[in-house]
Structure 1
Amino acid sequence: MHDLLILYEHPEWFRPLFAALDARGVDYVARTPDGDWNPADPTPPARVVLNRIAMSSFLRSDEHPIFHVTAMLDHWARAGVRVINGAEVLAIDSSKARQLSLLSRLGLAIPETRVVHRAADVEGAAAEVGYPLVVKANIGGSGAGIMRFDSVHELRAVVAAGDLPRSVDGVLLVQDYVPARGGTITRIETLAAKHLYSIEVAGGGAFDLCPADACVEGSGISMRAVEPAAELVDAAERVAQAMRLDVGGVEVMVDDRDGVPRFYDINALSNFVAKPRQVLGWDPHERLVDFIQEQIGGSR
């Protein structure tokens, strides 16, 4: 049995992680979730499973693995496998509505939001939220499935044409458009529910903010390392603890209208910042491998 199975989907994002594992001599196998699995077979696939399935996988294939993997990870956890970012994490990662509920429950400010599952309910929800607003797919990735509306007339025309964003789970968010102060957001990355690093990201309008190498090329997005206020770091760590997030990021922006930090997204797929040694001065993959080796040691 291998010490580690990495379950991944994106063909490029995880080469730095594979290289870091190779350099340490970690016994691992990496594979996609394609194929089948037997729900009556309790055989562990490895001592530890690392879930690296991206919510944006639906953009690369209509036959995306999000729901398939959620069930598979739950099955393996029931067989006693240590799953890093397991099914319970994936269930929240794959629902912006659940993310916002969790954030609010922890006492954190979020954008005013209504959750709907029918196009017929969008206009009524928009009247409660007010304009300008955005309509978001509940499952998105790299800014996919977000439209801004400045008036009810714009919204009605799109609804009538059947051109609203579509979410693969049929759920939409109608959300206040928050003007981010300075046009930037802060992504606070955590590992083992502790602050790992933070970056300030600009150029995506809070819509298309992906720090991975594959997202940055030609995107116009820029980023720099920052040290957020202690209360923001504490908030991100509480989020990670509450959802049992082993590794991932929490995104926050300061509302330019009132100066309130509003938390709006949780990303369990942390593929880390592009060119980390240039941006951070060190490589977070090394810390991730430390954590993975600790989990392997605890599973023996």
Structure 2
Amino acid sequence: MSDLLLLYEHPAWFAPLFGALDRRGIAWSALHADGHFFDPADPVPPAPIVFNRIAMSSFLRQAEHPIFYAQALLAHWAAAGVRVINGADTLAVDASKARQLSLIARLGLAIPATRIVHRAADLPAASEGLRFPIVVKANIGGSGAGIVRYDDRDSLAGAVADATVPDSIDRVLLVQEYVPVRGRAITRIETLGGKFLYALDVDGGGSFDLCPADVCLAAPGKPAIAITETTPAPRLIEAAERIARAAKLDIGGIEVMIDDRDGSPRFYDINALSNFVANPLDVLGWDPHERLVDWLESLIVEAKA
């Protein structure tokens, strides 16, 4: 049995992590979700520590995605005594923008004004009281998928009538005020073990796909985005750490934007699948994978104690 098992779906995203683990000599193994099955009566854990690396965008790559399967699998392993990193509870939050916004608002932090529906027909009524333009979002998205902007109520109503509004694989939709972002860049605050790791300002030039990782940036047709390291205000770092702890987020990114209308920071996304920034040595001057492996090594030591 290896000391660490990585459950993953994307075939290329984790090469930097795999390489960092190999360089440290850690006894690890990787398990691709496809082709896997489990016996709910089997109490034997696969490894002392399991690192969940299932992406919400997996539904874009295959209809038979592992998002909901992984929640059941990770919960089963946790019940068998496994230390699951970004476990079933975290994955359930990652898989629901509605739950993310509720969690953030419960912490007393500002979010974009939002309404949640389960039928597209209810979007126009739900948009009453919201300032246009608005966006309709799939509850489960990834890399900007399932987000469409509507500049007025008539265009939204027309899209509903034409059945061209976004859909979500769980049939939950958000209608949300489009926030004009001050300086155009959103800030992505990465956390590890519930603590601040680094932050990026990401300017997508109006695109909703703001994934800053290597494979995302190399994707065909991917709009150019500008990425710079930043140091957020202490109150934003503290807020992101509170969100991470409330979401049981062992590692991941918290996204916030400054509303140009009133200067309010509005938190809007919790992302449990962080691939880290492309070209980290150029952008940050250091490689966050090394910090991640430091942390994983400490968990392995604890598990063996």
TM-score (norm 1): 0.98
4+ aligned runs moved over 2 Å, structure 1: none
Deviations 1:152-199 (A, max 9, x none): 111111111111111110000000000111110000000000100000
Counterpart mapping for 1:118-197 below 5 A: 118-197=119-198
Instruction: From the superposition, tell whether residues 296 and 117 of structure 1 become closer, same or farther in structure 2 (CA, over 3 Å).
Output: same
Shift of 1:206: 6.2
Deviations 1:59-90 (A, max 9, x none): 00000100000010000000000000000100
Counterpart mapping for 1:1-300 below 5 A: 1-34=1-34, 35-205=36-206, 207-217=208-218, 218-300=222-304
Deviations 1:208-250 (A, max 9, x none): 1101111113530110100000000000001111111110010
Q: Provide the secondary structure at the position in 2 that maps to 1:235.
A: helix
Give, in whole Å, the separation in 2 of the partners of 1:204 and 1:183: 7
Give, in whole Å, the separation in 2 of the partners of 1:262 and 1:53: 26
Give, in whole Å, the separation in 2 of the partners of 1:31 and 1:117: 34
CA RMSD of aligned residues (A): 0.9
Deviates more, 1:102-111 or 1:200-209: 200-209
Give, in whole Å, the separation in 2 of the partners of 1:33 and 1:11: 11
User: What is the one-letter code of the residue matched to 2:128?
Assistant: A
User: What is the one-letter code of the residue matched to 2:170?
Assistant: D
Shift of 1:131: 1.2
Aligned residues: 300
Give, in whole Å, the separation in 1 of the partners of 2:162 and 2:131: 21
Contact 2:185 2:204 in 1 (8 A): yes
Deviations 1:80-108 (A, max 9, x none): 00000000100000000000001001111
- Unaligned 5+ segments in structure 2 are none
Contact 1:138 1:167 in 2 (8 A): yes
Give, in whole Å, the separation in 1 of the partners of 2:227 and 2:20: 23
Contact 1:185 1:206 in 2 (8 A): no
Shift of 1:295: 1.1
Give, in whole Å, the separation in 2 of the partners of 1:221 and 1:31: 32
Contact 1:123 1:155 in 2 (8 A): yes
